[in-house]
Structure 1
Amino acid sequence: MNVKQSLNPILAALAVLTVTTAQADAPDGAALYATHCAACHGADLEGAPDWRRPGPDGLLPAPPHDETGHTWHHGDQFLFDYVKLGGQQVLDDLGVRFTSAMPAFDGILTDAEIEAILDFIRASWPERIREIQAERTAMEAETGQQ
Structure 2
Amino acid sequence: MMRESSVSSSDVDDWKRQLAGAFEILLDRPLSSYDPEAVYVTYLGGNFIDETGYNRHGTWVRPAALSGAEPVVWDYSPYDQGEPPLVFDASGSIFEFAKADSGLPPEFAADLDEASFSQGLIRGADLAPLLVRHELDLTGPEWRDKWYVCYPRIASDGTLTRT
* More strand by percentage: 2
Calculate the TM-score normalised by the size of structure 2: 0.22
User: Counting helix residues as a fraction of each chain, which structure ranks higher?
Assistant: 1
For CA contacts below 8 A with separation 6 or more, give which structure has more relative contact order: 2
